[in-house]
Amino acid sequence: MTHSVDQAIRIKELTYRWPRQCADCLAISHFAVAHGERVFLHGPSGSGKSTLLALLGGVALPQTGRIELLGQPLTALSAHARDRFRADHVGFVFQQFNLLPWLSARDNVLLPCIFSTRRRERAGDPQQAAARLLTHLDLAPALWQKPAAELSVGQQQRVAAARALIGQPGILIADEPTSALDAPRQQGFIDLLLAETAAANAALLFVSHDIRLAAHFDRTVALADVNCAATEAAT
Amino acid sequence: MRAVLLLALKSAWARRLTLGIALVAIALASALLLAVERVRSDARASFTQSVSAVDLVVGARSGAVQLMLYAVFHSGSATNNMRWESFEALATHPAVEWAVPLSLGDGHRGFPVLGTSAAYFDRLRYGDRQALTFSAGKPFAEVFEAVLGSEVAAQLGYRPGDHITLSHGMAELGPEHADKPFTVVGILAPTGTPVDRTVHVDLAAISAIHLDWAGGAPLPGLAIPAEQVRKFDLQPQEITAMLIGLKSRRDVFRLQRHINGYRGEPLLAVMPGVALDELWQTLATVEQTLLALSALVVAVALAGLTATLLAGLNERRRELAILRALGAGPREIFMMLTVEGLLVTALGVLLGAALLAAGIVALGPLLREYGVHLALRPPTASEWGLVVSILTTGLLASLVPGWRAWRISLADGLTPRN
């Protein structure tokens, strides 16, 4: 895949409506994130956040409009190809419970290399890449072999970040990744995430309802400002 | 794809307790189904193997199955005897190559005693027309000599040279012919047929031990010592049944008609194969019912598997969402679930086969007393058929949770709804 385009994420004239609903849930005329750009997307719950994530992940398709990730229009791909694309190019960090509890921390980090050949190859030696990331994210080696279920929430979130970063995907999407952390750790985790995405030259879309976390990002966008449907469909 | 399957295995291992219970249920059900099939086919085999060179079994007129059961399998009892003259007449019939008399009714510590002629050891064939062989000693030559089946000798610890006494009737504590002990002169090699559980003596010995008996009890005041029996005519008046081998098998129907219309007394001649077929037809309904019930038990166990997997799915919605975020498609999710169910089924069947093998080792000796010989051996074609149908049903049962997971992963996408 070539990366001649300058945008990591580009959305144009998009509308989305969940099945069996009469109003659009999302209507975005334009939204873009540049390569390596770190964007804070501010959205309270009910603002169409998870719909946007589903669209960016390629598990849902808009009724109209375009979504391009790294220059690739998702709407042009089959469901199977969208799954492959997500595995290859997008790392996700969710609110919590990101990990498969029955796998060790290290095996959780290695998961993307199972689903994506591209990320396995880009990781070089996946074991070493995982070790490097976990060390970077300050997780003591003694914890690497522990089942994920036995880690603290903070440790789990760092493992999730390592997993999202392994194999250098072009885009990192974080959905309220700090909401399960206590306040002093929140900023620490965000700094880690910002540093690591910068090091990997990945675009970061950080979605949260908590505007106080927006301080260190390149840009802050309110979902309500881009989503024209929000005002009409708010419940 | 292999890595995804490995992931499915790890996930299943994490839920090994609940899956283990479903697995054990499938194992028990499979063991039951396979056991019913095994007992059914091996019972047939061991019955069929018991008389492989006998063309006709002849006895007093009764039912064909009944005659076979007591003459060959020494189970049940004869309603009537046949006369010795009839035996002699048939034995010298031009179509008959050999004839062996059978006299039953006495026992030794629960094992049947068979009075016969020494020709029995030469003529009787078992299995694939194998002759009887002696593991020790030789056939009886004197009146008070006995030849033991392998199991009689093994269970009671007899060796050639030991002395045994017979009891009247089959009851273990029946009246004893204690005054006329027998010497063990030979022990037969194992055959897997009722021969193993039989004490063989000369037909004359049966007359000898009953010389001073009448109506099932010793005659008071009359005791004939063993050394004097030779002075008496030991030719029996009656025998229980006889086995006949023909010079040419083509004569079998002709001779059978001849015997069934025998003028001397009402006799019945049956071809062992035909009589056994009749027996199987009688038992077919029972067999089918047992098989059907066992199949139902398997179905219940597999339904349990479906229920277990479906119940587990709700708790695994997060897991599915994580896998989706990592790039797993609905197809892969579907496959992970289906493979898991199929794996549990396969392991269950495997464990069931192991249970069956253990059961055969543990209960085999008990069943042998009923003439059914179960041996450890590779599955037959029909057993493979059952295994394949269990696996197929297991696959169908696993498709349900697979399909459900597919639906969930489509509906939930990256964010599980609980």
Q: Which residue has the tokens 């949770």?
A: B401
Tokens of B124: 């009787």
Give the H or E element holding residue B267: strand B267-270
Q: Cβ(B373)–Cβ(A17) under 8 Å?
A: no
Residues of A in contact with B318 (CB under 8 A): 97
Q: Which of A134, A153, A137 is nearest to A192 (CA)?
A: A137
**The predicted structure's pLDDT at residue A43:** 85
Query: Which of B270, B292, B325 is the last residue in one of the domains?
Result: B270
Q: Is the dihedral of CA B230, B236, B242, B245 positive or negative?
A: positive
Q: Are residues B86 and B167 in the same domain?
A: yes
Per the structure, the count of domains in chain A is 1
SS3 B316: coil
Cβ neighbours around B73 below 10 Å, total: 18
Tokens of B55: 């063309």
Interface residue ranges in chain A relative to chain B, Cβ cutoff 8 Å: 50, 53-54, 57, 59-60, 79-80, 83-84, 86-88, 92, 94, 97-103, 111-112, 114-116, 175
Tokens of B267: 């006799």
Per the structure, the count of domains in chain B is 2
Asked if the C-beta of B293 comes within 8 angstroms of chain A's C-beta atoms, the answer is: no
Q: Which of B416, B15, B326 is nearest to A110 (CA)?
A: B326
CA distance A199 to A195: 6
Q: Is residue A72 part of a domain?
A: no
Q: Are residues B32 and B63 in the same domain?
A: no
Please indicate whether, in this complex, the C-beta atoms of B414 and A54 are within 8 angstroms of each other. yes
Q: Is the ipTM of this complex over 0.90?
A: no
**The predicted structure's pLDDT at residue A169:** 92
**The predicted structure's pLDDT at residue B395:** 95
CA distance A45 to A224: 11
**The predicted structure's pLDDT at residue B94:** 93
Domain limits for position B295: 2-47+283-412
Q: What is the DSSP string of B311-368?
A: HHHHHTHHHHHHHHHTT--HHHHHHHHHHHHHHHHHHHHHHHHHHHHHHHHHHHHHHH
Q: Is residue A122 part of a domain?
A: yes
Please indicate whether, in this complex, the C-beta atoms of B325 and A86 are within 8 angstroms of each other. yes
CA distance A118 to A129: 14
Q: Are residues B92 and B239 in the same domain?
A: yes
CA distance A65 to A220: 23
Residues of B in contact with A111 (CB under 8 A): 326
Q: Are residues B213 and B316 in the same domain?
A: no
Q: Does residue A1 carry a pLDDT above 60? A: no
Backbone torsions φ then ψ of A17, nearest 5 degrees: -135, 130
Residues of A in contact with B413 (CB under 8 A): 54, 57, 59-60
Q: Is residue B276 part of a domain?
A: no
Q: Cβ(A162)–Cβ(A134) under 8 Å?
A: yes
SS3 B416: coil
Q: Are residues B323 and B222 in the same domain?
A: no
Cβ neighbours around A93 below 10 Å, total: 27
Q: Average pLDDT over chain A, rounded to whole?
A: 86
Q: Is residue B278 part of a domain?
A: no
Please indicate whether, in this complex, the C-beta atoms of A115 and B326 are within 8 angstroms of each other. yes
Domain limits for position A162: 36-61+77-222
Tokens of B157: 């610890």
One-letter identity of residue B415: T
Q: Which of A91, A177, A50 is nearest to B412 (CA)?
A: A50
DSSP A217: S
Closest residue in B to A103 (Cα–Cα): B10
Q: What is the pLDDT of residues A87-146, one digit of tens each?
A: 999 999 988 778 999 999 999 999 999 888 899 998 889 999 999 999 888 888 999 999
Q: Are residues B95 and B22 in the same domain?
A: no
**The predicted structure's pLDDT at residue A233:** 45
Q: Are residues B144 and B24 in the same domain?
A: no
Asked if the C-beta of B319 comes within 8 angstroms of chain A's C-beta atoms, the answer is: yes
Q: Are residues B120 and B266 in the same domain?
A: yes
Q: Find the angle CA(A112)-CA(A113)-CA(A114) to the nearest 5 degrees.
A: 90
CA distance B69 to B56: 14
Whole-structure pTM value: 0.77
Q: Crossing angle of helices A153-165/A105-115, nearest 10°?
A: 30
Q: Crossing angle of helices B272-315/B330-368, nearest 10°?
A: 140
Where chain B has pLDDT below 70, the residues are: 170-174, 214-217, 221-222, 369-371, 417-418
CATH number at residue A141: 3.40.50.300
Strand partners, A219: A39
Q: Cβ(B131)–Cβ(B170) under 8 Å?
A: no
Give the H or E element holding residue B83: strand B82-83
Which stretches of chain A are assigned E, i.e. beta strand? 7-16, 26-34, 38-42, 64-69, 72-73, 90-93, 171-175, 203-208, 219-222
Q: Are residues B193 and B73 in the same domain?
A: yes
Q: Is residue B277 part of a domain?
A: no
Q: Which of B251, B240, B402, B256 is nearest to B331 (CA)?
A: B402
- Quick one: how far is CA A147 from the chain centroid? 23
Query: Which of B223, B243, B270 is the last residue in one of the domains?
Result: B270
Q: Is residue B234 part of a domain?
A: yes
Q: Which residue has the tokens 């002849």?
A: B58
CA distance, residue A177 to nearest chain B CA (Å): 13
CA distance, residue A80 to nearest chain B CA (Å): 6
Q: What is the pLDDT of residues A172-217, one digit of tens each?
A: 999 888 888 888 888 888 988 898 888 888 999 999 988 888 888 9
Please indicate whether, in this complex, the C-beta atoms of B413 and A80 are within 8 angstroms of each other. no
SS3 B174: coil
Closest residue in A to B16 (Cα–Cα): A102
Query: Which of B270, B300, B316 is the last residue in one of the domains?
Result: B270
Contacts of residue B153, Cβ cutoff 8 Å, sequence gap at least 6: B159, B184, B187
Q: Are residues B203 and B252 in the same domain?
A: yes
**The predicted structure's pLDDT at residue B198:** 92
Q: Are residues B314 and B218 in the same domain?
A: no
Best mutation target, A18, A82, A83, to test chain B (most B CBs within 10 A): A83
Please indicate whether, in this complex, the C-beta atoms of B13 and A100 are within 8 angstroms of each other. no
**Interface A:B, Cβ pairs < 8 A:** 62
Q: What is the DSSP string of A92-153?
A: EE-SS--S-TTSBHHHHHHHHHHH-HHHHHHTSSHHHHHHHHHHHTT--GGGTTSBGGGS-H
Please indicate whether, in this complex, the C-beta atoms of B331 and A98 are within 8 angstroms of each other. no
Q: Which residue has the tokens 């039989």?
A: B198
Q: Are residues B133 and B217 in the same domain?
A: yes
Q: Cβ(A53)–Cβ(A207) under 8 Å?
A: yes
CA distance A66 to A74: 8
**The predicted structure's pLDDT at residue B168:** 80
Please indicate whether, in this complex, the C-beta atoms of A87 and B327 are within 8 angstroms of each other. yes
Residues of B in contact with A94 (CB under 8 A): 325, 414-415
Residues of B in contact with A87 (CB under 8 A): 326-328
